[in-house]
Structure formats: structure tokens, C-alpha cells
Amino acid sequence: MPDPSVGTGQAGAHSAGASPHVHPRHPRLDPLADRYAARTHGMKSSEIRALFSVVSRPEVVSLAGGMPAVTALPLDAVGSMIGDLVSGMGAQTLQYGSGQGDPRLRERICDVMALEGITDASPSEVVVTVGSQQGLDLVTRVFCDPGDVILAEGPSYVGALGVFQAAQARVRHVPMDDDGLVPEALEQALVECRARGDRVKFLYTVPNYHNPGGVTLSEPRREQIMAIAERFDLLIVEDNPYGLLGFDREPMRALRARDDQRVIYLGSFSKTFSPGLRVGWVLAPLAVREKLVLATEAQVLCPPSLTQYAVARYLDTQPWREQIKIFTELYRERRDATLESLAALMPPGTTWTRPDGGFYVWLKLPAGLDAKLMQPRAVAAHVAYVPGIGFYADGSGREYMRLSYCFPEPHRIREGVRRLARVIEAELDLHSTFDGVDTGSFRAVPASPSGPPRVVEPEGSGPFIGPANSDRNEDRQP
């Protein structure tokens, strides 16, 4: 240790437990600061993770997390099913398995994909992954060198942006509207990238019940986008965790069903069964699959056997299609509660999307408001959301927020929207009061004494609430 006092200081910080400055603000305090790989430089805590400690408080209505309603599962049946798997098949379920994943599960995955029109998939083209997050990470590692460009909807799934950042890829957002990704905008982006000599590795898209957008790519646009991909020789990564969660409608036909060579498909059991098992998959042409298997072997050797057997047995023995209906019925009710409350309570100038499946509403605040800066006040008012800025790689999206209706019960959703509406109204009051005054981009707005629940000020802070305080939410909480 070049400087023992530094080491001692760090050891002290360890034993102190959850220090408020876990993320080292002064590089000299981290003796390894000059040794990290370049890819770590842009790593930061996601907007969602930052809220973990907040949403676990029972008095807060969380419209932030995307946690499925797993308690709607028949837990006793699933429990005894998994218990039997271990008691009766421990030699398999507790042992190492193949890197590509259990063959029987891969067969059942092909059955599931057939519901979205993918009828030609072979189990040999499927790689089982630790959630579809790992699938996206593997695809990105296989295709992207630093500096490569990935096209993605604006906004995009925050977890995907984290993967792309870790790969040191550059993200170019392509706008969406109520019918999903705008084909003309995709074409324009491709033309511009080609003119600049950018290496565009793929389009990353969530066509169904977009996270966070809540919108679905329309059937005509699917055809248009496939035609553009053909014309520009563009690879598409279709991320589809929500495709079977439509309300009162049949599943859309997947992009992968239209081209088995140009589309790499990511699937997940996190929303149709359980996220705690972390079972997802990639469907890819054989040459790509070969590389994905090598990459996953280097990363995790093989996915957990027990969780794979649990999913395969669940699909074999439990009424999983009926269970998806139970889930979607429940989510539809919560979606309705959300949309009804928003329509009844939101002040003029607020707009939002109207999802017909999935988990999310994407809300735009009235002009001039900033969801990130408003967040501490919302938390003080006991309602949580995810600020839109986290869903863009380029720092835009401050006027947006994501509302998740998947987890809270309808009466809680209504209460949460009511609180949120009051917070927005209070912001609008402030905004009109300070209109024309330079408030440093709302960086230091006094907490409203007239607003609903008084802002709880962090210990040691002054009367002003701003980013310096909201940063506290970003300290790691287990």
C-alpha cells in the first residue's frame, strides 16, 4: 500500500456500513482509481435503482418499479412443483448444465414464441439466459466494439442503455409516437449515420407495450421497418418481454416472424411467470447463437439449472396460458385505474400515453416542469415515479416520467395519481410565481410551504431542495 493512511481510512469507511459517500467523490480516496477499465468511466446508478430505498417505505405509493404481481401465481402449487424437482431430480436440478441451456426448456420456449407467429424456430437456435438482460448484454458484447452505434427508440429501456454504455457503444435515439417507432425517423437516422460513416450495429426495439413508452408498434409500421432494415442491411434486436401481456387483444406478430436472419429476438419469463427465477432467452441465427453460447460460457458457465427446470416444469404441468390471462386481467384493471385517475386529476398541459398492454404509462409534464427536479417533492408527498431522463442516453427527457401500474392495487394507484397531481399543481404554481425569474433551470426552488405534505428536508440541508440533496437517493442501499 503506497499510503497506509489511505488504506486505513477506507477500512474505517467499511466498518461504518452505509456511508453516505459510498461512491467515491474524491478519486484519491480510491487507491485503485487509475486502474479501472475505460468502460467503467460512464457507469452510473440508474434512475430506477436510485429509488429502491424510497419505494420500500409503506407510506409511499410507488409508481416507479416494474415489479410484476407475482403473488397472483398459485404459490402453493409452484412451491410443491419446485420442491419435487429438487427431491426427485436433484442430480440434474442441482448440477451444472449446458451453457446453451436445458434442451427441454428450449423446446418449450419455441412453443411460447409460436404464440407470436414465430413458427420456424428450432431449439438449437435458442440460448437460455439469466433474464433477457443477460441476453441483451451477450448480443451487445458479440456485436459492439467501442464507438459502434446502436439505434434505439427515444425513450428506451433504462437497462438496455446500461448495457450499451458498458459496451462503450454510442446510442442514437429514434423518435416514437403513439404507433411506436417512426419509420421515417429510422430511415433518416440510417441515412445520417451512413453519411457520417458510423458503424450502426443494430436497431434495439421494444415493439410491444414499450418500456417506458407504453406504446405498441402498429402492424403497418412493422412492415415498413422490416423493409427499411432490408434496404439498409440493418440487424434488429427485438426485445419482447411484454408481448403476451396485451389487454383484450391477440399478440402482435413478432418482427422475428418476418425475418429469421435479420432479427435477433429476446424473450423473458419475468413477466409471464417470475422475474426472481431470472430465465430469459435469445433466439438467433445459428452463427450468432454459436458466439452467444461462447460468450455466456465465459460469463456464467451455464444458467442456473434449478430455475430452468422450474420454468420447463411449470410450462409442462401448470395452466400457464390461463395464468397469463389472470395477470393481464389484473394489469388491465390497474391500467384502467391509472388512466381514469390521470384523466380526472391531472392539470391541463399534462399528457400521457394509453397502453393496451404491459406495465407503463409515459407522462409528459406541462411546459417548463422537470420530473427529475420535482422528484424530491413527490417523494415527500409519498408518491414515486421514475424521471424520464434515465431513459435517454443523451440527457434529454427531463419533462417526462414513467408511471408503472403493474404492482400497486387500484385504490393505491388512484391515491398515488392524486398525490402526483397535487405535486404537479404545486410545481405549476411555483413556476408561474417565478415565471421570468432565472431560477438556474429550477436548480434551487424553495420548497412550497403551501404544497401538500411538507418536504422532509435531509438532515443538515438548508431550506433549498435541489440536485445536491436528491443525489442522496443515489447512494447504494442493499
**Interaction residues for its own copies, span 413-472 (CB under 8 A):** none
Rounded distance, CA 52 to CA 227, Å?
41
Q: How far is the CB of 321 from its own copies (least distance, A)?
A: 19
β-strands 464-465, 445-446: how paired? antiparallel
Regarding 173 and contact with its own copies (CB under 8 A), the answer is no
Q: Report helix, strand or coil for 9.
A: helix
Regarding 145 and contact with its own copies (CB under 8 A), the answer is yes
In this complex, which beta carbon is closest to its own copies, that of residue 257 or of residue 365? Answer: 257
Stretch that binds its own copies, among 17-25, 341-349, 383-391, 397-405 (CB under 8 A): 17-25
Rounded distance, CA 253 to CA 113, Å?
10
Nine-digit cell string for 434: 417565478
Regarding 93 and contact with its own copies (CB under 8 A), the answer is yes
The residue among 381, 385, 399 whose CA lies nearest residue 447 is 381
Regarding 49 and contact with its own copies (CB under 8 A), the answer is yes
In this complex, which beta carbon is closest to its own copies, that of residue 136 or of residue 445? Answer: 136
Tell me: cis bond preceding 348? Omega within 30 of 0 counts: no
- Segment 304-343, which members bind its own copies (CB under 8 A)? 304-307, 310
Regarding 476 and contact with its own copies (CB under 8 A), the answer is yes
Stretch that binds its own copies, among 31-39, 109-117, 203-211, 250-258 (CB under 8 A): 31-39
In this complex, which beta carbon is closest to its own copies, that of residue 125 or of residue 427? Answer: 125
Scored b (16 or more CB within 10 A) or e, 65-74 reads bbbbbeeebe
The residue among 337, 274, 279, 353 whose CA lies nearest residue 309 is 279
Near its own copies by CB under 8 A: residue from 111, 192, 297, 329: 297
Stretch that binds its own copies, among 15-23, 210-218, 240-248, 409-417 (CB under 8 A): 15-23
The residue among 390, 384, 347 whose CA lies nearest residue 365 is 347
Neighbours of 2 (CB within 10 A): 6
Stretch that binds its own copies, among 187-195, 248-256, 294-302, 432-440 (CB under 8 A): 294-302
Near its own copies by CB under 8 A: residue from 51, 130, 225, 380: 130
Q: How far is the CB of 26 from its own copies (least distance, A)?
A: 11
- Segment 343-402, which members bind its own copies (CB under 8 A)? none
Which residues are bridge partners to 61 per DSSP?
383
Regarding 268 and contact with its own copies (CB under 8 A), the answer is no
β-strands 351-352, 279-283: how paired? unpaired
DSSP string of 168-235, one letter each residue: TPEEEEEEEETTEE-HHHHHHHHHHHHHHT--EEEEEE--SS-TTT-----HHHHHHHHHHHHHHT--
In this complex, which beta carbon is closest to its own copies, that of residue 45 or of residue 439? Answer: 45
Nine-digit cell string for 374: 420535482
Q: How far is the CB of 33 from its own copies (least distance, A)?
A: 8
Size of the residue set binding its own copies (CB under 8 A): 121
Regarding 32 and contact with its own copies (CB under 8 A), the answer is yes
Q: How far is the CB of 205 from its own copies (least distance, A)?
A: 18
Near its own copies by CB under 8 A: residue from 149, 277, 393, 465: 277
Near its own copies by CB under 8 A: residue from 57, 96, 177, 321: 96
Q: How far is the CB of 30 from its own copies (least distance, A)?
A: 4
Regarding 474 and contact with its own copies (CB under 8 A), the answer is no
Near its own copies by CB under 8 A: residue from 20, 28, 57, 79: 79
Which residues are bridge partners to 352 per DSSP?
363
Tell me: cis bond preceding 458? Omega within 30 of 0 counts: no
Regarding 235 and contact with its own copies (CB under 8 A), the answer is yes
- Segment 194-233, which members bind its own copies (CB under 8 A)? 201, 230, 233
The residue among 223, 233, 179, 177 whose CA lies nearest residue 203 is 233
Q: How far is the CB of 219 from its own copies (least distance, A)?
A: 22
Contacts of 384 (CB under 8 A, 6+ apart): 51, 54, 55, 60, 61, 62, 63, 64, 378
Near its own copies by CB under 8 A: residue from 54, 55, 109, 144: 144
Strand ranges, E, within 292-354 = 351-352
Neighbours of 44 (CB within 10 A): 13
Q: How far is the CB of 245 from its own copies (least distance, A)?
A: 16
Near its own copies by CB under 8 A: residue from 111, 114, 124, 454: 124
